[in-house]
Amino acid sequence: MLLHISVGLVMGLIFGIALEKGRVFEPGIIIGQFQLRNWLLIKMFMSAIATTMVIVAVLYGSGIITLHVKPAVYAGNILGGLLFGVGMAVTGACPGTVLAQIGAGYKDAWGILAGALLGAMTYGYLEPVLAPLNAGPGKITLADILPLPFWLLASLVAIIIAVFLFVLEKWRPWRADLGFDYDGVPSGSKQKDDGR
């Protein structure tokens, strides 16, 4: 139990540092991604996904870990993804970035955190009503559908993501996305409490 908590704390710390150093916790960066005018967020997260896929493929292929696949849930994932995406586009935050925003001094982040907690509690109460949305075909993965071992499939998807990111970086270099936040605050600076 203590090991799991320690690993979680270390991973959270690494995630927070990566968010801060990559500046992808800033509301303007997040909102800009949804407006298709800032590509920093997608570059960082797709890089993390590709890296994780390779690491998991190696660990799984060597027998160090086992995969615990959750059942496929289409309606619940579509509705949840829609709510999550709209929330991110409107607030410029998500459950992970809002904590980094609080640490960086973004005053609006406290209201967003309160809304996230209220939403989680509301879901807890409505879960029995929403249970039918969690019906699905059961546990299924691409490795089950395609005649490829998981490690190979994960490696191929990681390569596809890497090629996509290479092309995206050539089209829109990352330095072009470090400018001003949505409210005129230079990217990488702390918001001041000046009534905004």
pLDDT of 61 higher than 90: no
pTM for the complete prediction? Answer: 0.78
Q: State what percent of residues in the chain have pLDDT above 90.
A: 45
* Residue extents of the structural domains in the chain: 1-176
Quick count: other Cβ atoms within 10 Å of Cβ 162? 15
CA distance 91 to 111: 10
Which residues have a Cβ under 8 Å from the Cβ of 66 and sit 6 or more positions away? 60
- Alpha carbon distance 11, 41 (integer Å): 19
d(CA 96, CA 19): 9
Q: What is the pLDDT of residues 109-154, one digit of tens each?
A: 999 999 999 999 999 999 899 888 887 777 788 878 888 888 889 9
Cβ–Cβ < 8 Å for 59, 66 = no
